[in-house]
């Protein structure tokens, strides 16, 4: 009986089900010297508060472009998008989101703590608050003993953890992550996947995550958005049947394999190799 109650607890939906991102018929065409590039076409997508959503698809299908549109770093040429109930520009100005890039992008002349402090300095937050946030989030990513080190004194995985802590220091409701673990070895990636899930659970944030890896998408996500190139569009949105509370052992289960197969099939349906 206890086991059933525990399972219900970990698989329940988050209490709030507010729309965090609402995208309606969105398209984006880049004008280039070689002619127009249809990067995104007819994108409809709703992401709710507390979801962990992965974008997966072949190279050039528009995953990064879609993430950058959410972040107001690219402007759509058609359709509508709301982020946190406002325009992407207002969401950016209100610091609704934190953005984690594929490469850690830390300033080499600043210590890890000082790198984390930078966005809070820019938004004029008091020093005592800055220090408290740095301790909180460097602790959360397991780097409390490295706060006075410089980026070049840390491994690639540690640098990426530092960049996640930096993004979290501003307490964004939304975390946008563009292949943050793509350059790391598999063991480090496994470890950071589990760390990220812990942070997601502890903070209740909404995460939008770009990946090329089917196992990573299955392990992390509540929803997997399968995309297809030329022009970039959504082939399928798959709601994960797996519990929100996950361990690496889940990868040996039939449910995990079945979900991975469903993603692989959706990718194959619409992807022709030229
Ligand atoms: N600033 C730009 N100007 C012109 N074309 C662009 C620009 N940014 C992206 N593109 C094109 O838009 C398409 C989508 O690119 P995007 O980087 O979003 O794909 P992706 O799915 O993230 O690829 P990858 O997995 O390789 O990172 C590609 O054809 C790319 O060449």
* Cα 188 to middle of ligand 1, angstroms: 27
Evaluate whether 130 touches 74 at the Cβ level (below 8 Å): no
Instruction: Record the pTM.
Output: 0.89
pLDDT tens digits, one per residue of 132-142? 999 999 988 88
Evaluate whether 174 touches 20 at the Cβ level (below 8 Å): yes
Q: Is 63 in the pocket of ligand 1 (CB under 6 A)?
A: yes
* Cα 62 to middle of ligand 1, angstroms: 6
Q: Which of 34, 36, 60, 70 to mutate to test the pocket of ligand 1 (most atoms within 8 A of CB)?
A: 60
Q: Which CATH architecture has domain 17-96+197-274?
A: 3-Layer(aba) Sandwich (3.40)
Q: Is 133 in the pocket of ligand 1 (CB under 6 A)?
A: no
For the chain, which residues make up each domain, given as ranges?
A: 17-96+197-274
Q: Whose CA is nearest to atom 16 of ligand 1?
A: 62
- Residue 13, number of CB atoms within 10 A of its CB: 11
Q: Closest Cα partner for 83 from 51, 30, 46?
A: 46
Is the predicted pLDDT of residue 12 greater than 60, yes or no?
A: no
Q: Is 33 in the pocket of ligand 1 (CB under 6 A)?
A: no
Q: Closest Cα partner for 200 from 66, 102, 53?
A: 53
* Cα 213 to middle of ligand 1, angstroms: 18
Q: Closest Cα partner for 263 from 60, 12, 48, 54?
A: 54
- What is the interface pTM, i.e. ipTM, of the complex? 0.97
3-state class (DSSP) for residue 98: strand
Average per-residue pLDDT for the chain: 89
């Amino acid at each position: 009986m206890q086991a059933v109650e525990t399972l219900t607890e970990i698989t329940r939906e988050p209490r709030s089900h507010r729309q965090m991102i609402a995208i309606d018929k969105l398209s984006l065409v880049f004008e280039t010297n070689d002619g127009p590039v249809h990067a995104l076409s007819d994108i409809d997508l709703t992401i709710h508060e507390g979801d962990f959503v992965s974008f997966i698809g072949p190279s050039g299908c528009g995953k990064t472009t879609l993430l950058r549109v959410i972040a107001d770093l690219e402007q759509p040429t058609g359709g509508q998008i709301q982020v946190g109930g406002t325009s992407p520009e207002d969401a950016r100005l209100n610091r609704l989101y934190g953005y984690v890039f594929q490469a850690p992008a830390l300033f080499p002349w600043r210590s890890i703590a000082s790198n984390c402090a930078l966005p809070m300095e820019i938004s004029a937050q008091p020093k005592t608050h800055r220090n408290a946030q740095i301790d909180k989030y460097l602790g959360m990513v397991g780097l409390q003993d490295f706060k006075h080190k410089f980026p070049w004194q840390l491994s690639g995985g540690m640098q990426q953890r530092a960049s996640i802590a930096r993004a979290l220091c501003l307490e964004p409701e939304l975390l946008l992550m563009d292949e943050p673990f793509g350059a790391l070895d598999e063991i480090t990636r496994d470890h950071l996947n589990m760390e990220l899930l812990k942070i997601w659970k502890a903070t209740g944030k909404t995460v939008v995550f770009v990946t090329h890896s089917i196992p990573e998408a299955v392990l992390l996500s509540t929803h997997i958005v399968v995309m297809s190139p030329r022009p970039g569009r959504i082939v399928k949105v798959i709601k994960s049947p797996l519990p929100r509370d996950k361990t690496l052992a889940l990868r040996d289960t039939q449910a995990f394999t079945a979900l991975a197969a469903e993603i692989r099939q959706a990718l194959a349906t619409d992807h022709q190799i030229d």
